[in-house]
Amino acid sequence: MTPMPPSQAHDIWEKLYGSLRVLAEGAGGSFAFVVDQGNGLWCVGLPRTPPTIATTPQNEAADRFYREEVIPRLSALRRGERIEIVRGDGDTGASSDRYVAISCAAIYMVVVWFKAPFSAQLVRARIKRSLAEIEALLVSMPPWGGPGTDAGAGKARA
């Protein structure tokens, strides 16, 4: 997965980073991110951290999330179906990943990641409260030129 290239000076990207940082902090998460249907990682927000693109461990987590959760739901996501995913026990399978994810704008997943148990109801409410702002920022960002950013994807974001 390749992180989005907008520079830290890019106003919209910085606002998106700030929204994700506040979401992660408010939900008690380790970080929050947005991934699209083509495995484009648009932004990772780290609690109590100024805007940065130095998020390699988080990028790897986002890539696992994409493989395990988005790929099996790609057709539903592309149809604009609302998708909510909660993985809270951390004890199933080979992974101890914990997260809550909700789709938005037909092609994106907003995800809050955790290191410890959490209240899924609280996190879902926090994400839903943040979705309008995050969605508005996502659809106003220019495409980054990777997979899924062709004319059709641009129209889906608009």
User: Which domains are delineated in the chain?
Assistant: 11-157 (3.30.450.30)
d(CA 33, CA 44): 4
The predicted structure's pLDDT at residue 9:
35
The predicted structure's pLDDT at residue 101:
98
The predicted structure's pLDDT at residue 69:
97
The predicted structure's pLDDT at residue 141:
83
Query: Mean pLDDT for each 10-residue chunk of the chain (158 residues)?
Result: 47 94 97 95 95 94 96 94 86 72 95 94 96 94 57 41
3-state secondary structure 35-97: EECCCCEEEEECCCCCCCCCCHHHHHHHHHHHHHHHHHHHHHHHCCCCCEEEECCCCCCCCCC
The predicted structure's pLDDT at residue 95:
63
The predicted structure's pLDDT at residue 89:
60
The pTM assigned to this predicted structure is 0.83
Q: Is 100 helix (H, G, I), strand (E, B) or coil?
A: strand
